[in-house]
Amino acid sequence: MATTRLNPLLHLSQRIEILPRLGFLHPNRKLKLPRSKPSLAIRPIRADSTDASPIEATASAVDAGVSYSETFSLKHTRTLEGKVSVKLDRVKEGGGEGWRLVVGCNLEGKWVLHWGVTYSDEFGSEWDQPPSDMRPPGSIPIKDYAIETTMTNSSSPSGEQTYHNVQIDIHNNSSISAVHFVLKEEEMGGWYQHRGRDFRVPLMDCLHEEENDEDEKKGFSIWPGAFDQFSNILLKTDGSHPKSKDNVRGANNAKQQNGFYEEYPILKEEPVQSFMTVSVKESDEKGKNLVNFDTDLPGEVVIHWGVCKDYNRTWEIPPPPHPPGTKIFRNKALRTSLQPKENGQGSWGLFAVEKKFSGLPFVLKHNHYTWLYNMGTDFYIPLPVGSFPTQFSRDKKKLDEQTMTDVQKQGIMYPPKVEDSQSTSDVVETEDIINGIRNLVTDISSEKGTMTKSKEAQENILLELEKLAAEAYSIFRSAPPTFDEEAVSEAESLKPFVELCSGTGSGYEIVCQGFNWESNKSGRWYSELDGKISEIASLGFTIVWLPPPTESVSPEGYMPKDLYNLNSRYGTMDQLKLLVKRFHEEGIRVLGDAVLNHRCAHYQNKNGVWNIFGGRLNWDDRAVVADDPHFQGRGNKSSGDNFHAAPNIDHSQDFVRKDLKEWLCWLRKEIGYDGWRLDFVRGFWGGYVKDYLEATEPYFAVGEFWDSLSYTYGAMDYNQDAHRQRIIDWINAVNGKSGAFDVTTKGILHAVLEKCEYWRLSDAKGKPPGVVGWWPSRAVTFIENHDTGSTQGHWRFPAGKEMQGYAYILTHPGTPTVFYDHVFSHYQQEISSLISLRNRNKIHCRSTIRIVKAEREVYAAEIDEKVMMKIGPGHFEPPSGLKDGSWPLKGEITKFGRLCKADLLLISLSLCQLVLGCKFLVL
């Protein structure tokens, strides 16, 4: 599970062409380009679309000796501050009186109100559509639970020029208790909430004053207040409290006869394109080059840079003297702040570099927290070495191509990582990391910083914390994995660390996630899924994973309340039992989604904190961990990471473990679950999970251990051993009685497919780089789920590359999981073919894998000496390939790729597969 997070999607509407600024005069001085000097065409370097991308540039020799210049475009965002206003007024309607709700926004854009209502006879935060006579003209129904109404331009109460609003008329005798809404900005694709939740306007006090006290128990009042603090950091909307004016009345005063008016701050981010021009000239000082940086990027710009002696681009720290104010960054690079220009339009810097160095790699850090880099790796500026070459700039393209060839010949992965010098001290580096974490924590926790920083800056701070933590853990776990693969024979190297046991299945499982984030909306999901059981079985799935079954504060089920109440937004308990029975009749086993880390309370304690539970498991605050300050638990300290949206359960308590084991056993017997999908297992020690698994003896179990991968300067590191080791540690803690989702493999596939870096799919020992490369029988591979994809989209798989991801996980060892949205989509035929290929060739979770090729544009592997697969646009032919360039025709070929002679001789699955660049051969 993951906390809902709605981010504006940024799109650039046009490309900006900027004339590069050259020479080494002061950047504010206008330069006149001499016509007599010819332009030198420079090959632009492609850059990552999310951070920086070069634009077409030319280099002109403004000053004698200028050898090279290139202009990069830098994409960043700016934050616009606005407000959302909510006004409720009493109005005359016909012969009586009613109410008018006006929702407004004062930011530019095409704003849409996405809204619904709650009726007085309903509890919780579920949306329903309002009655027809309440809908403004032009409103559009969204499924069966919401309405979308486009905001119109009008004059604001404060006389502002930009103002968009929607008016909703409500009858005085209406049975509606509240109106819920979020804002949607269609031009940028952004969704906006308030403090991590939907906006909510209570109406019970206005329409039915006598029911005022009852209304306090409805709506979002049942959510613990600590969720505000958690979502305040994660969401793109301002977490400040509403601003009140002299004539403003808060929601708590809504029952006053004149209604109320409130304003809420909102932050909208817009894309901005800036530039960075880098030019090189020969210095008057003998033996040195001068490198000039010139940018219009606003705010503070820091360059992290080094030098290279060879074309392998290995970072080194140049000898002093360094530019003024330069600091050494963890003995890996120099950190230099650019100087602001006198006109305030950007900044500049001038570096002297000895001619013995062949290049200058660098990355940018903007406004403390945002890294700008080049296509997932460093920017790189070639430097003339020794005597000044006249053809230096003209030969840049040829030089780059030769460099790449040399790198590949030497077996060096591209892009190379920044290497530590021999004098680097682990102690000094660890202290730097600790100090960096302390500074970031202090920065984000300061009240002043929280109020002044944009949400993008706050999120970047959190990302920096994750990177530093991952780097620290990498140092700590610098030793090999906890089990020694080299000490066992080749035949035994892929056997599990522990003996086969309950929870790991037969090894031939293929899992289907049987829901997405929207499945609860109809209230009839169990019945709807029942009609697709035969289709799921025919596709070859052996296990289906069902959503959380319990009553929940959130409709998706991940905020459980009464664990024994199985009447949820997905359907009734009887419908669930029938669904499981029907799956069993088709030979498919069923996993229940067990949320054990946290539980929502029924009652408040004497301090008004929600930490007293009701229902059959009527725990008190001893069941809540003591170190989460939001819920005032009287238990022991947490054994994992706290989830701040609900009380975290203290599993060290004997009565808690006893009750949870009884509940899980009851689910096994009463519902018929065959195993578990375990939610947010980072929140508590794996040893407790081991206890629950031993008590319930599931056929198959998988834990969700999801944390951040390792990054350097915003780019994913090649070595992700520390990340997968943390997942391995959890599997060890449960004594190998459960698998875990292979988040490492998913993250690496993202980088591979987004940036065409297929070399990442082989680790330093030539094995798969995820959990599947170390402990394949416990690796549950996936490319998407309800959190990462669906309508949440927290970590969406690269669009259009889904079949390459499935080509990888469905042919490799591990236990593959396929997301519901992909099963029932235009991908179904391709997925079915891959599952059929896997089953026919008896590929299982412990199958052997031999990586044949892992280069920038191509990855190929042989599985169990039966199946050969290849993905990527690059060329690859098996060793026994025919001389005419086609794949051999021995056996069966299933092809997803470019047309070749094999396509003419064998039947291709479908035309839509021709663009995906992957194919398979059964020998």
Concatenate the DSSP letters of all residues of 484-538 into one string. -STTS-GGGTTS-SS---TBB-SS---EEE---TTTTTTS-HHHHHHTTHHHHHH
pLDDT higher than 60, residue 316: yes
Using CA atoms of 14, 20, 21, 24 in order, give the dihedral in degrees to the nearest 10: 140
pLDDT recorded at residue 608: 92
pLDDT band, very low/low/confident/very high, at 828 (cuts 50, 70, 90):
very high
pLDDT higher than 50, residue 241: no
pLDDT recorded at residue 612: 95
pLDDT tens-digit series, residues 343-382? 889 999 999 999 889 899 999 998 877 888 776 678 889 8
Q: Please give the backbone phi and psi of residue 175, each rounded to the nearest 5 degrees, phi first.
A: -95, 15
Query: Which amino acid, 13?
Result: S
Catalytically active residues are 679, 704
pLDDT tens-digit series, residues 533-545? 999 999 999 999 9
The lowest-confidence range among 7-16, 45-54, 734-743, 814-823 is 7-16
pLDDT recorded at residue 823: 96
Pairing of strands 675-678, 589-594: parallel
Averaged pLDDT score across all residues of the chain: 76
Q: Which among 861, 859, 797, 869 is positioned nearest to 837, based on CA atoms?
A: 869
Rounded to an integer, the average pLDDT of 866-884 is: 75
Q: Which among 197, 214, 274, 243 is positioned nearest to 86, based on CA atoms?
A: 243
For the ranges 234-243, 738-747, 889-898, the one whose mean pLDDT is highest: 738-747
pLDDT higher than 90, residue 596: yes
Rounded to an integer, the average pLDDT of 569-587 is: 96
Helix 721-733 × helix 455-476 angle, to 10°: 70
* DSSP result, 12-64: --SPPP-PPP-SSS-TTS--PPPTTSPEEE-PPPP--TTTEEE---EEE--ST
pLDDT tens-digit series, residues 225-238? 333 333 332 333 44
pLDDT band, very low/low/confident/very high, at 257 (cuts 50, 70, 90):
low
pLDDT recorded at residue 839: 93
pLDDT higher than 60, residue 32: no
Helix 455-476 × helix 426-445 angle, to 10°: 150
For residues 278 and 33, the model is more confident at 278
Using CA atoms of 489, 493, 498, 500 in order, give the dihedral in degrees to the nearest 10: -100
Whether the CB-CB separation of 828 and 806 falls below 8 Å is answered with no
Taking the C-alpha atoms of residue 111 and residue 807, their distance in angstroms, rounded to an integer, is 40
Q: Which among 229, 125, 134 is positioned nearest to 174, based on CA atoms?
A: 134
pLDDT higher than 80, residue 43: no
For residues 502 and 143, the model is more confident at 143
pLDDT recorded at residue 490: 36
pLDDT recorded at residue 876: 85
pLDDT band, very low/low/confident/very high, at 865 (cuts 50, 70, 90):
confident
Q: What percent of the chain has pLDDT over 70?
A: 67
Q: For Cα atoms 324, 325, 331, give the angle at the middle one, nearest 5 degrees.
A: 110
Burial label for 438, CB within 10 Å (0-12, 13-18, 19+), is exposed
Q: What percent of the chain has pLDDT over 90?
A: 46
Q: 71: number of CA atoms within 13 Å, CB side?
A: 23
Query: Which amino acid, 343?
Result: N
pLDDT band, very low/low/confident/very high, at 177 (cuts 50, 70, 90):
confident
Q: 694: number of CA atoms within 13 Å, CB side?
A: 12
Using CA atoms of 127, 133, 138, 141 in order, give the dihedral in degrees to the nearest 10: 30
pLDDT band, very low/low/confident/very high, at 509 (cuts 50, 70, 90):
very high
pLDDT higher than 50, residue 45: no
pLDDT band, very low/low/confident/very high, at 74 (cuts 50, 70, 90):
confident
pLDDT higher than 80, residue 885: no
Measured between its terminal Cα atoms, the distance across the chain in Å is 41
For the ranges 451-460, 490-499, 564-573, the one whose mean pLDDT is highest: 564-573
Q: Please give the backbone phi and psi of residue 818, each rounded to the nearest 5 degrees, phi first.
A: -110, 135
Q: 607: number of CA atoms within 13 Å, CB side?
A: 11
Give pTM, 2 decimals.
Answer: 0.55
pLDDT band, very low/low/confident/very high, at 515 (cuts 50, 70, 90):
very high
Tokens describing residue 735? 């004594």
pLDDT band, very low/low/confident/very high, at 915 (cuts 50, 70, 90):
very low
Taking the C-alpha atoms of residue 647 and residue 220, their distance in angstroms, rounded to an integer, is 16
The lowest-confidence range among 224-238, 425-439, 751-765 is 224-238
Taking the C-alpha atoms of residue 219 and residue 222, their distance in angstroms, rounded to an integer, is 7
Q: For Cα atoms 486, 488, 490, give the angle at the middle one, nearest 5 degrees.
A: 90
pLDDT recorded at residue 1: 55
pLDDT recorded at residue 255: 41
pLDDT recorded at residue 376: 61
E strand or H helix that includes residue 203: none
pLDDT higher than 90, residue 816: yes
pLDDT band, very low/low/confident/very high, at 55 (cuts 50, 70, 90):
very low
pLDDT higher than 80, residue 452: no
pLDDT recorded at residue 897: 36
Rounded to an integer, the average pLDDT of 418-440 is: 53
pLDDT tens-digit series, residues 832-844? 999 999 999 999 9
Whether the CB-CB separation of 86 and 295 falls below 8 Å is answered with no
pLDDT higher than 80, residue 421: no
Instruction: Report how far Cα 519 is from the mean position of its chain's Cα atoms.
Output: 21
For residues 630 and 680, the model is more confident at 680
Q: Which among 283, 253, 521 is positioned nearest to 388, based on CA atoms?
A: 283
Phi-psi domain of 65 (left: phi exceeds 0; alpha: psi -120 through 50; beta: other)? left
Rounded to an integer, the average pLDDT of 568-595 is: 97
pLDDT recorded at residue 822: 96
